[in-house]
Amino acid sequence: MSESEKTATISLNGKDVALPVLSGTLGPDVIDIRKLPAQAGVFTYDPGYGETASCSSKITFIDGEKGILLHRGYPIAQLAEQATFMEVAYLLLNGELPAKAEYDTFVHSIKHHTLLHEQIRNFFNGFRRDAHPMAILCGTVGALSSFYHEGLDVSNAATRYQSALRIIAKIPTIAAWAYKYTQGETFVYPRNDLSYAENFLSMMFAVPSEPYKVNPVLARAMDRILILHADHEQNASTSTVRLAGSTGANPFACISAGIAALWGPAHGGANEAVLKMLAEIGHKDNIPEFIAKVKDKNSGVRLMGFGHRVYKNFDPRAKIMQATCHEVLSELGIKDDPLLDLAIELEKIAIHDEYFVKRSLYPNVDFYSGIILKAMGIPTSMFTVLFAVARTTGWISQWKEMIEEPGQRIGRPRQLYTGAPERDFTPFDKRG
Ligand code: CMC
């Protein structure tokens, strides 16, 4: 980040205040308003922080207009096609692609931290069998802080890195066990001979009574889904992780906060909501009626899996996901899936219907990921859990970057107060 020659001037109450303009490596300049309250006695107002840079970061760059997504400078399409999820995780966490030896050490460390403390098994028994797996994930990840006391010390760089490895390694185990628990099935332990994606599939679908062979096409698709969801700049859950982490809270608690934020249907819950929506529409013939509801502002109905806060042209992840979707369906021999037919029909409408075109509402990554996951046999309730497994690498990398930034401060937004002005307390007998 550098201070440019430019300044922005605000004229207020007859006074001009010059504010520095900062430039990043890519993207628009930003006006540094840190001295605004002191110099002009005002704050800025930006509900939802859509126009505010809350931090500087070297991890991910997005250009929503052009549909660009870069991790540490590398285009997402290149990473999805040529890298493994473990390479991307290393890249996000460390800043550079690993040399082969570094990669091997990283993968070895992740594999050797996938087991959960046996006492963590007891937590699962405390949940109802019909609990949503996101509830189990959120609670159990937070509970990791009661096992790794050294992880509570966020001031130690080696400990921070160790916690990051632990959390990336253990989250697939917790996620798969959350599923097994809701099914009443035996927990399947991690296997070190498998890749990260293969191991996740094995922990999800293997049973003790027979050998489990991972389908390589599905494993590759899973790896790609993980890559495509690994990080996405300062979205709601990542900002939640940063805000929680800015207080010095331990990383397990912060990731648990991120999981909670991801759960909402406007964020990570969207892929689950897509499938629910398709089931609700039920048949192609019902699409016009559903679209009419979507266009009616009073209905409160949205076309799930469409639109994005940042991508206003296309979501680059959606393109790759669309191709992966076709690969998986052809591998599994799925030709006439009614939900898939519906999805394809909705996609056509969005591309041609004026309502969607005018508002730049394109299918986003979750539109296709939901269909792929369903085809793979992953239950709908696990969709957001999978998103959380992938995004954990991004969250922990962003958390680490924030803690390591010189002069890091607690996050503390301000507000525009619109409540009652100061008034005197009235006792019961004087209240109207
Ligand atoms: N269906 C129908 N209309 C929509 C939709 C939608 N999915 N999304 C936006 N609009 C309309 C909205 O009503 C508004 O119309 P108007 O200008 O007439 O008032 C216009 O488009 C702009 O919408 P917005 O609410 O300002 O857009 P936003 O940037 O605040 O919302 C969003 C982004 C993702 C929350 C929203 O598009 C949405 O709710 N999509 C469905 C949920 C979804 O698929 N979320 C996953 C996002 S990708 C994964 C992730 O990053 O978590």
Q: For a ligand 1 pocket test, name from 233, 237, 308, 321 the mutation site with the most ligand atoms within 8 angstroms of its C-beta.
A: 308
Fold of 5-52: Rubrerythrin, domain 2 (2.20.28)
157 C-alpha to ligand 1 centroid (Å): 39
CB of 366 closer than 6 angstroms to any ligand 1 atom: yes
Q: At what angle do helices 157-183 and 133-143 cross, to 10 degrees?
A: 150
The DSSP call for residue 62 is E
CB 142 within 8 A of CB 253: yes
CA distances from 187 to 114, 168, 182, 190, 236 (A): 13, 19, 11, 10, 32
CA distances from 297 to 290, 294, 350, 353 (A): 13, 7, 17, 16
Atom of ligand 1 nearest to the CA of 305: 44
Fold of 73-265+378-402: Citrate Synthase; domain 1 (1.10.580)
Q: Is 75 left (phi over 0), alpha (psi -120 to 50) or beta?
A: beta
What's the pLDDT at 251? Answer: 97
Residue 9 pairs in a beta bridge with 18
Atom of ligand 1 nearest to the CA of 365: 48
Q: CA–CA separation, 383 vs 402, rounded Å?
A: 28
Whose CA is closest to 18, among 3, 55, 27, 416?
A: 3
What's the pLDDT at 404? Answer: 96
Residue 62 pairs in a beta bridge with 69
Q: For a ligand 1 pocket test, name from 237, 296, 309 the mutation site with the most ligand atoms within 8 angstroms of its C-beta.
A: 309
Q: Look-up: residue for tokens 């591309």?
A: 351
Mean pLDDT, each 10-residue run in order, the chain (432 residues): 81 92 96 93 93 96 93 97 98 98 98 96 94 96 91 90 97 98 96 97 96 95 96 97 97 98 88 88 90 92 89 85 87 81 84 89 86 90 95 98 94 96 96 86
The CATH number corresponding to 267-374 among 1.10.10.10, 1.10.230.10, 1.20.1050.10, 3.40.50.1000 equals 1.10.230.10
Q: Are 73-265+378-402 and 267-374 equal in CATH topology?
A: no
Give the residue whose CA is nearest to atom 14 of ligand 1.
359
Atom of ligand 1 nearest to the CA of 315: 48
151 C-alpha to ligand 1 centroid (Å): 38
Element (H, E) at 399: helix 383-403
**Residue ranges of domains in the chain:** 5-52, 73-265+378-402, 267-374
307 C-alpha to ligand 1 centroid (Å): 5
What's the pLDDT at 344? Answer: 81
Which amino acid belongs to residue 171?
I
Give the residue whose CA is nearest to atom 17 of ligand 1.
359
Catalytic residues: 308, 366
CB of 67 closer than 6 angstroms to any ligand 1 atom: no
Alpha helices by DSSP H, listed for 85-229, are 85-94, 100-111, 120-126, 133-143, 157-183, 196-205, 216-228
383 C-alpha to ligand 1 centroid (Å): 20
Give the residue whose CA is nearest to atom 49 of ligand 1.
267
CB 121 within 8 A of CB 187: yes
What's the pLDDT at 346? Answer: 87
Q: What tokens does 29 get?
A: 């300049």
What's the pLDDT at 350? Answer: 75
CB 305 within 8 A of CB 245: no
User: CB under 8 Å to 431, separation ≥6 — which residues?
Assistant: none
CB of 270 closer than 6 angstroms to any ligand 1 atom: yes
Which amino acid belongs to residue 47?
P
360 C-alpha to ligand 1 centroid (Å): 10
Element (H, E) at 31: strand 30-31
136 C-alpha to ligand 1 centroid (Å): 28
CB 383 within 8 A of CB 275: yes
What's the pLDDT at 2? Answer: 66
The DSSP call for residue 413 is -
CB of 268 closer than 6 angstroms to any ligand 1 atom: yes
Q: CA–CA separation, 376 vs 148, rounded Å?
A: 34
Atom of ligand 1 nearest to the CA of 310: 29
Cα angle at 159 between 156 and 164, to 5 degrees? 125
Q: CA–CA separation, 144 vs 116, rounded Å?
A: 9
